[in-house]
Structure 1
Amino acid sequence: MSDVQSWIKETVTTNPVVLFMKGTAQFPQCGFSGRAIQIIKSCGVENLVTINVLEDAAVRQGIKDFSNWPTIPQLYVKGEFIGGSDIMNEMFESGEMQALLKA
């Protein structure tokens, strides 16, 4: 396992909610990342950790390899990969996301 993979694993397992995104929570750099932040905030999550993948090419590629998922953003809850923006949106609309993030 590479240093980047080790760092990603440690980050997602030591923080309850982690979003790998383009940009920051304050300034998302893509619409999908912006939507992901809106969903998480509307669920009342306060201890969100965001990782700006645009700051580090190794992390940007590393998270895709880690999850075997080709797109950003990527949400992790309690170390488990949940999905990207579309999956988050579907879960939010069904009420699953709220339940997951309140648990």
Structure 2
Amino acid sequence: MQRLNILKTYSRLFSTSIQDKIKQTIQQNDIVVFMKGTVDRPMCGFSRAACQILYMNGVPRITGVNVLASDDLRQGVKEFTKWPTIPQIFVKGEFVGGADIILEMHQSGQLKSYLKDKGIQLEETDKDVLEPPKEQ
């Protein structure tokens, strides 16, 4: 039993370090997607969709964070946002949601105005064909 408590304490300390890294990443980058894979090589359809939707709306750069690189990171970002699924999208330090949320925003026409209101410099695009944006 004591060993289990020590492991829980260590896990919480490690989690704090992960939380700090998450905070630092979202504060230092305009658009961050915690995703499975990378912007250039998404490893799931939802992560791919999130990047494609952002790209279609003129986002010039996405900072992609591959949560498959670390179980602690994957769990840490879920705890940070209290959101159970990946991908998770942040704009100017604010958690927006997952692929379903930005898809809904895109379909309603709200995404572009939200990004502009947040000060994101969007590129003009008429892309129907989806290409990955540049990854930072």
TM above 0.5, yes or no, is yes
| Higher alpha-carbon deviation: 40-49 or 58-67 | 40-49
In the TM superposition, structure 1's runs of 4+ consecutive aligned residues that sit over 6 Å from their partners are none
Deviations 1:43-95 (A, max 9, x none): 11112100010011111000000000000000000111000011110001111
Residue 54 (structure 1) aligned to one of 57, 64, 68: 68
Residue 53 (structure 2) aligned to one of 39, 50, 56: 39
Structure 2 residue identity aligned to 1:51: V
1:7 and 1:47 map into 2 onto residues whose CA distance is 20
Bigger radius of gyration among the two: 2
1:93 and 1:11 map into 2 onto residues whose CA distance is 28
TM norm structure 1: 0.95
Taking the TM superposition and a 5 Å limit, the aligned residue runs for 1:20-35 are 20-35=34-49
Taking the TM superposition and a 5 Å limit, the aligned residue runs for 1:1-103 are 2-103=16-117
2:83 and 2:32 map into 1 onto residues whose CA distance is 15
Partner of 2:126: none
- Displacement of 1:14: 1.4
SS state at 1:2 partner: helix
1:24 and 1:53 map into 2 onto residues whose CA distance is 9
Q: Note the residue ranges of structure 2 that are not aligned, 5 or more in a row.
A: 1-14, 118-136
TM norm structure 2: 0.73
Deviations 1:9-55 (A, max 9, x none): 11111111100000111111111001001101111111210001001
Q: Note the residue ranges of structure 1 that are not aligned, 5 or more in a row.
A: none
SS state at 1:41 partner: helix
